[in-house]
Amino acid sequence: MEKKPHFVRREFLSRDVPSISLALLLATVLLLNALLYLYLNKFYSSLGRVETDPGLCPFGYFKFGAVKNCSPWLSCEAINREVRKLKCVGEGAVKKVFLSEWKEKKVVLSQLTNSELKEDFLHGLKMLKALQSKHVVRLLGYCEQQFTILTEYHPLGSLRGLNETLHIPKYKGMNTWHRRLMLAIDYVSVIQYLHTSPLGTLVMCDSNDLDKVLSQYLLTSDFHVVVNDLDALPLVNRSAGRLVKCGHRELQGEFVAPEQRWPYGEDVPFQDDLMPPYDEKTDIWKIPDVSNFFLGHVEGSDIVRLHLFDIHAACKKKDPAERPSAQEVLDTYRKVLTLLIREAAMPGTREML
C-alpha cells in the first residue's frame, strides 16, 4: 500500500493545532468569566452586604462581636450599673461622646450637653431605634430620662480620618481605587436607604460642608460605612405637601444645593419664613463631592471619575427634579465597579487573542 507523503501529515497537524489553541482559549475565557461572576457575587453578598444582614436582631434587641444570641437593649438601670466611662472622645453642639466599657467590650456612651437641644437629641434616638439596619450604627441601649445613648464602638472613627487610616501600614493594602469606590457605594447606599426608609423619605440635613458630612459617618473595622448621627433627619412627604428646611439660618457655599441658598439676592436680608423649603434631592447634589473625597488620588481613581462623569453631572443639575434618585446613582456606581473589575481581569485574555 502506498504511503502518504509526510507533508500531508504535517499540514493536517498544522491545521489541528490552532483549533486546539482556540478551544483552550475559549475555555480560559469562560473560566475567567465564571471566576469573575463568583467574585462579584461574593462582593455583593459580603463586601457589598446584601440587604438581609444576619447580624441584625428583632426590634429592641442587639448583638455584636462573636456573640451569637441577641440581647435586649440596655435599660437605664443596666447602663448605670454595667457601663463604665473611660474617656471623652468628642463633643458637638448636642452631645458629648465617651469611650466606655461594657462587659469588657468597648462601647460608646453619648450624653446630652445642651438642655435646649433635647428635642434634637430625642429625635436622633427615635431615628436610631427605628432605622436599625446594616446602614446605621448599632444601638445597644438608651435612657431617655438621663438623655443617654449607648452604641457600638468603631475604633477607626469617622470618615474624616479615612486618608490617615489608609496610610497606616496595616491598612495600606486597602488604599486602592476599587476599595475606595466600594466605600463610595456604601455611602450612596446609606443615602438610598434614608430616602426609602421605613419611616418615609428622610433628608440628611447635617451636611452643610464636606467635613460635616464626613463626621456623620463611621468607618467600620471591615471597611464599610455606617451613619452615626441622626439628630437632623427631617421627613419629606410630597403627598401631604410637606418639604423640609435644614435649620433656620442662611446656608452658603457651593457644597450645599442651589435650592438651599437664599434665592432673593444680597439686597434682601435673610428671613427664615421667606426661605422656600426643598426635598431630598439636596442629598443628591452633594454625592459627587463626597465621592470625590472617597476616591482620593490613588492609581486608577481618575479612570473611575471618568466613568462616573455623566451621573455626577446629572447630580449637579440646578433643577432638583432633573437630578437622579439615589437608587439610580447607586445602580450606576455598581455597574461601573463591575465593568472596571471585568476590564482589570481581562487584559491577559485580550493578549492571548
Q: Indicate the pLDDT class of residue 29, thresholds 50, 70 and 90.
A: low
164, three cell numbers = 490617615
Three-state secondary structure call for residue 147 = coil
What is the arithmetic mean of pLDDT over 172-189?
A: 97
The secondary structure of 69-136 as a DSSP string is S-EEPB-HHHHHHHEEEEEEEEE-SSEEEEEEEETTEEEEEEEE--GGGHHHHHHHHHHHHHT-STTB
pLDDT surpasses 80 at 310 = yes
Per 3-state DSSP, the chain is made up of helix, strand and coil in percentages (nearest 5) of 50, 15, 35
Beta bridge partners of 112: 95
Residue 47: predicted pLDDT: 43
pLDDT surpasses 60 at 37 = no
- DSSP class of residue 3 equals P
Q: Indicate the pLDDT class of residue 215, thresholds 50, 70 and 90.
A: very high
Per mean pLDDT, which range of 32-46, 252-266, 339-353 is the poorest? 32-46
Per mean pLDDT, which range of 38-47, 205-214, 280-289 is the poorest? 38-47
Query: 71: Cβ–Cβ under 8 A, 6 or more apart, which residues?
Result: 61, 62, 63
Q: Does domain 154-346 have CATH number 1.10.510.10?
A: yes
Q: Indicate the pLDDT class of residue 52, thresholds 50, 70 and 90.
A: very low
Distance CA 143, CA 75 (A): 6
Residue 282: predicted pLDDT: 98
Domain locations in the chain? 71-153, 154-346
pLDDT surpasses 50 at 49 = no
What is the arithmetic mean of pLDDT over 176-187?
A: 97
Whose grid coordinates read 445602580?
331
Give the chain's mean pLDDT.
88
Superfamily per CATH, domain 71-153 = Phosphorylase Kinase; domain 1 (3.30.200.20)
Q: What tens digit of pLDDT does each residue of 222-240 get?
A: 999 999 999 999 999 988 8
* pTM for this prediction: 0.84
Distance CA 14, CA 219 (A): 59
156, three cell numbers = 477607626
Per mean pLDDT, which range of 18-27, 77-86, 259-268 is the poorest? 18-27
